[in-house]
Structure 1
Amino acid sequence: MPQRKQLSGHAIRRIYLLLPALLLLAQLLPKTVSAEPAPTGKAEPFSRQLVVDKARQLSQAPFNPAQGEVPQSLLALSYSAWRDIRYRPEKALWKKEKLPFQLQFFHPGLFYDRLVTINIVSGGEVRGVPFETALFDYGNNHTLPEQIPERFGFAGFRIHGPINTPGHFDEIAVFLGASYLRAVAKGQAYGLSARGLAVDTALPDGEEFPYFKEFWIEKPTRRSTSLTVHALLDSKSLTGAYTFVVRGGKTTTMDVTATLFLRMPVTKIGIAPLTSMFLFGENTDDRKVRDFRPEVHDSDGLLIKNNSGEWFWRPLDNPENLDINAFQADNVRGFGLIQRDREFAHYQDLEASYERRPTLWVEPVGDWGRGHVELINIPTDRDIHDNIVAFWRPKDELPVGVPQTYEYRLLWYNGGFTHPPLGYVGATRTGETENGGQRFIVDFQSKALGLLQPPAEVKGVVTCGKGAVVVEQIVEKNPHTGGWRLSFVIRPDQAPSALDKVLPKRRQPVDLRAFLKINDTTLTETWNYAYRP
């Protein structure tokens, strides 16, 4: 199993889930009268090129990880003690100016052992945001303010705006920890994360975690519909200059421009990485845990739009062993981790609200060249672990010292995400047959498929890789969903050897693909699965 990300796990996941509740609690507490943080220091001219130049210069020097910036008393805090440190909502940046966006900042401590510098760009000039203990309510941590160094910084920040109700500012996005960021669309709860970059994910020597060390946030006007955030990325192997243009709404979007500078050769780079959680779903026939909930996941599938126009769906899995899949995607047109199942009855979790988790879609701008989309499924037995990773990986290693720029859009959808094919996969179910085969039930659905009624000659096209054969296949109308159901049975094409019986996981998984068609017209996206004999 690869080294897990440093800023995930039980505490980090709970922090994100509890942020809205903590903010509401803070708003109900007695308020003190004090000013919001005022940017200070000598004003300096700013443009995105300044961040690019900083990244280039940083890449030409050895990596210098920050050490000792955060006092041990903060790092030793328990989870409950750290979350008791709350930013005072009345001090939100730009609150008194009644601008369309507001900023609140996170306090270092616990897992957040790096200080990030936060600057505000106004009128084309830059001034830093100073850290002040007066910005925070320390709760029961009465002695902590006295232990804060005179020169200190923040751990990250969050963006607020009237995303749900006019005049009421709710959280839109969070930049906190390494290069992680999260966002929500209207009416949603936090779920999966995006990252600035993935480096050597799932390699034996362990993963490298780049981090944003400095931000430049452009001050909006009263008519602004977006907020622009620039970030400087640093890591042992590389640096980067990032720009995020954030727009909250029914679909929250981030237009991203990333310019990378390698210090040294990197074996694996993941562009636009996404991180999510899948514990079990309707396709899980062997759960690792006993749980009252029918399904538990932030995302239930990987969707890819290839350069040819084909849409490709892969249900997520929680395997017995680390599972890495590569899907050829030269000049990929889009990919994302999708939460299609939006029915509360399928989760039955009043607190987690999995049916309200975002879908996150990556839409490249221009041609990215040759490469593949990589999907990594990490075994887990708890829903506090983010065990799903997806990103686009270039075929060739990126050159050292030569800037590489990638542009793309992140779309945080409130809904299951529809797209051009007439039908999409609504559910995948599987189970063993009496004679050693595996039965698959794939429900395709859409409004268009709902209009097709028997005796329409809808046919299933199932292809099976080496190692197994299709022995049964049926396509029928599903009157309960309005769509069409494809069911088929897969069996190994030869009896297992003596070694296979002793080591059943020795056999390679068999690639399965299926879609529906009528005459010569393809009706649906392509469903894909890894069958393990």
Structure 2
Amino acid sequence: MLRREMLKSLAALALVPASGFAEEPGLQLGDHVPFDAESVRRRAMELAASDYAPRPLIPESWRNLTYDQYRKIWFDGRNALWAGSDKPQRVDFLAPGLYFPQAVDVNVVENGTARPVAFDMGAFDKTDKFPEVELDATLGYSGFRLRAELQEPGIFQEYAVFQGASYFRGIGAGETYGLSARGLALKTGDPMGEEFPDFTAFWMETPQAGAGSVVVHALLESPSCTGAYRFDIAHGDTLRMSVSAEIFARTELSHLGIAPLTSMFLFDETMRQRFDDFRPAVHDNDGLLIHNGAGEVIWRPLANPLTLQISAFSDNNPRGFGLMQRPRNFRDYADLEALYHSRPAAWITPQEDWGPGSVTLVEIPADQEIFDNIVAYWRPSAPIVPGQSHRMNYLLDWGHDPAPKADMPLRVLNTAIGGRPEGGKIVTIDFEDGPLVPEDLERLGIVLRSSAGSVSPGLVQRNPETNGPRLAFTFKPEDASLIEFRAQLRLDVAPLSEVWLYRWTTA
């Protein structure tokens, strides 16, 4: 979905002073309807027992808005939900149209009842360049964003947004939006095409004064399944979402993606020669990190191949996985607008045994940074048959480096690949420094394997900038068009570094 530039423009409205809305009408709420913890689950189960019914489209005049026209209308923060109250959250609602051709239902929950938030053009500001549009009963908001006092009292800053299909984003305090998460992924990378479930309705629980979190319930619908979701969202330097969900199958779900993350990777030092760009690198995230059930810590640098690539890392009861952004200096990107150095990483921690399956990485060719071309998710081995349901609970942390640190081996800081004048390729892998790194690097053992081609033994030297070890090796592909590499540093036979995995392709 091409939402990156649109969301960046909306971020300019993220700082809104706390105030009332004396001259504004405010949001209008509908009639009270009973609501409890099982309401969304019952609704999802009922819907799964019937055929899928698509939601109506909003009027064509809204769907035909151009990107520039869509930017001419915005929510007036003075009309935010709970504005002017002692509630610790503010909720802004987002206009329909452009990439969002269907409305979502939004409800406010308090004292055991839910009230729908009515669509109101009076809650928006717009310029005189915004065109005339039709107003009818199909209209509604396309999503919402959450704001709280993240850094300064009285200043409510945006920290999460739910908008489009089942997409949502989060950031830690002071960060810039980057990667997205989704409620569910179906048939990602499938030759027959991907299916995108939608969050069609939300219920927001009214927080108590002083609460540092907010609870959002969501109903998911698609031709293949329905789902009931609960998000407990706590903002901070690291934003934590506790996600509980149950999926109900309408058809057999054999290619299911749990806790999917979607990101952008255009280029870095492994493929710099393909892009004529003043910047050293362009990406929201640069690697997939996996803590597998066997206790290994795996680092897989991301790539932007010329053909679709799908990698499956088989596992049983994974401890966690996520998309990281390890280069954190401005000079790593030199981009004054995109601010890639301040984009968040996201980390998934299962809250129960997930059984056998695979962490799956999909890398899609891209020639511009507006395309989200990276997807990572957990794919369970067993399908979900019609009439059955699947429960899942996990933590989703957004922040600078949200992966657990306890007993973590040396992290990979950077990977670079380039040609050699005498033929072949040279690969350098920089590892961070650590208390266990010996002064004499000759004590380190090197594990280096490749699936094809010829590979040199490898050499470890100290990087004077990081003070950590650098592993360098050369390889010649020979007749191979695809090579899988595995490398690790060891000390006295024990693992010292993460396991570095890389797929090299000619295409």
TM-score normalised by length of structure 1 = 0.91
Q: Does the Cα contact within 8 Å between 1:106 and 1:157 map onto a contact in 2?
A: yes
Q: Which moved more, 1:515-524 or 1:168-177?
A: 515-524
The CA distance in 2 between the partners of 1:83 and 1:354, in whole Å, is 23
Q: What are the equivalent positions in structure 2 for 1:269-280 lying under 5 Å apart?
A: 269-280=256-267
How far off is 1:509 after superposition? 1.9
Q: What are the equivalent positions in structure 2 for 1:63-78 lying under 5 Å apart?
A: 63-68=52-57, 70-78=58-66
Once the two structures are superposed, residues 100-156 of structure 1 have per-residue CA deviations (whole angstroms, 9 ceiling, x without a partner) of: 1110001111111111100111012111111111111122256636x2115632110
The CA distance in 1 between the partners of 2:343 and 2:386, in whole Å, is 38
The CA distance in 1 between the partners of 2:253 and 2:61, in whole Å, is 36
How far off is 1:446 after superposition? 3.7
1:485 match: 470
2:71 match: 83
The CA distance in 2 between the partners of 1:174 and 1:329, in whole Å, is 32
2:6 match: 15
- Is structure 2 residue 13 aligned with structure 1 residue 40? no
1:298 match: 284
The CA distance in 2 between the partners of 1:137 and 1:445, in whole Å, is 49
1:264 match: 251
The match for 2:490 among 501, 513, 517 is 517
Q: What are the equivalent positions in structure 2 for 1:31-180 lying under 5 Å apart?
A: 33-41=23-31, 43-68=32-57, 70-140=58-128, 144=132, 147-149=134-136, 152-180=139-167
Q: Match of 1:275, SS?
A: strand
The letter of the residue matching 1:394 is: P
The CA distance in 2 between the partners of 1:157 and 1:234, in whole Å, is 18
Once the two structures are superposed, residues 365-387 of structure 1 have per-residue CA deviations (whole angstroms, 9 ceiling, x without a partner) of: 11111100111111111011001
Compared CA separation, residues 92 and 332, structure 1 to 2 (3 A): same
- Is structure 2 residue 414 aligned with structure 1 residue 427? yes
Compared CA separation, residues 107 and 531, structure 1 to 2 (3 A): closer
How far off is 1:244 after superposition? 0.6
- Is structure 2 residue 410 aligned with structure 1 residue 453? no
How far off is 1:487 after superposition? 0.8
The letter of the residue matching 1:284 is: M
TM-score normalised by length of structure 2 = 0.95
How far off is 1:89 after superposition? 0.8
1:502 match: none
Q: Which moved more, 1:469-478 or 1:397-406?
A: 469-478
The CA distance in 1 between the partners of 2:137 and 2:357, in whole Å, is 48
Q: Which moved more, 1:290-299 or 1:454-463?
A: 454-463
1:503 match: none
Q: Does the Cα contact within 8 Å between 2:445 and 2:493 map onto a contact in 1?
A: no
Q: Does the Cα contact within 8 Å between 2:305 and 2:505 map onto a contact in 1?
A: no
1:476 match: 461
How far off is 1:528 after superposition? 0.4
Q: What are the equivalent positions in structure 2 for 1:132-281 lying under 5 Å apart?
A: 132-140=120-128, 144=132, 147-149=134-136, 152-281=139-268
How far off is 1:282 after superposition? 1.7
Q: Which moved more, 1:294-303 or 1:152-161?
A: 152-161
Q: Match of 1:329, SS?
A: strand
The letter of the residue matching 2:110 is: S
Q: Match of 2:457, SS?
A: strand
The letter of the residue matching 2:45 is: R
The CA distance in 2 between the partners of 1:290 and 1:433, in whole Å, is 20
2:341 match: 355
Once the two structures are superposed, residues 413-453 of structure 1 have per-residue CA deviations (whole angstroms, 9 ceiling, x without a partner) of: 1247563323010000112334543221101104435x632
Structure 1 unmatched ranges of 5 or more: 1-7, 497-506
Q: Does the Cα contact within 8 Å between 1:339 and 1:416 map onto a contact in 2?
A: no
- Is structure 2 residue 319 aligned with structure 1 residue 346? no
The CA distance in 1 between the partners of 2:143 and 2:211, in whole Å, is 23
How far off is 1:294 after superposition? 0.8
Q: Match of 1:165, SS?
A: coil
CA RMSD of aligned residues (A): 1.9
Q: Does the Cα contact within 8 Å between 2:324 and 2:401 map onto a contact in 1?
A: no
The letter of the residue matching 1:519 is: D
Structure 2 unmatched ranges of 5 or more: none
Q: Does the Cα contact within 8 Å between 1:423 and 1:445 map onto a contact in 2?
A: yes
Q: Does the Cα contact within 8 Å between 2:441 and 2:460 map onto a contact in 1?
A: no
Q: Match of 2:341, SS?
A: helix
How far off is 1:456 after superposition? 6.1
The CA distance in 2 between the partners of 1:271 and 1:213, in whole Å, is 19
Q: Does the Cα contact within 8 Å between 1:40 and 1:130 map onto a contact in 2?
A: yes
Q: Does the Cα contact within 8 Å between 1:422 and 1:448 map onto a contact in 2?
A: no
The CA distance in 2 between the partners of 1:150 and 1:156, in whole Å, is 17
The CA distance in 2 between the partners of 1:448 and 1:275, in whole Å, is 35
Compared CA separation, residues 107 and 455, structure 1 to 2 (3 A): closer
How far off is 1:461 after superposition? 1.3
How far off is 1:166 after superposition? 2.8
The structure in which a higher percent of residues are helix is: 1
Q: Does the Cα contact within 8 Å between 2:105 and 2:116 map onto a contact in 1?
A: yes
How far off is 1:332 after superposition? 1.0
The match for 2:381 among 385, 395, 407 is 395
The CA distance in 2 between the partners of 1:32 and 1:14, in whole Å, is 33
Q: Does the Cα contact within 8 Å between 2:350 and 2:395 map onto a contact in 1?
A: yes
Q: Match of 1:448, SS?
A: coil
Q: Match of 2:331, SS?
A: helix
Q: Match of 2:449, SS?
A: strand
Q: Does the Cα contact within 8 Å between 1:293 and 1:347 map onto a contact in 2?
A: yes
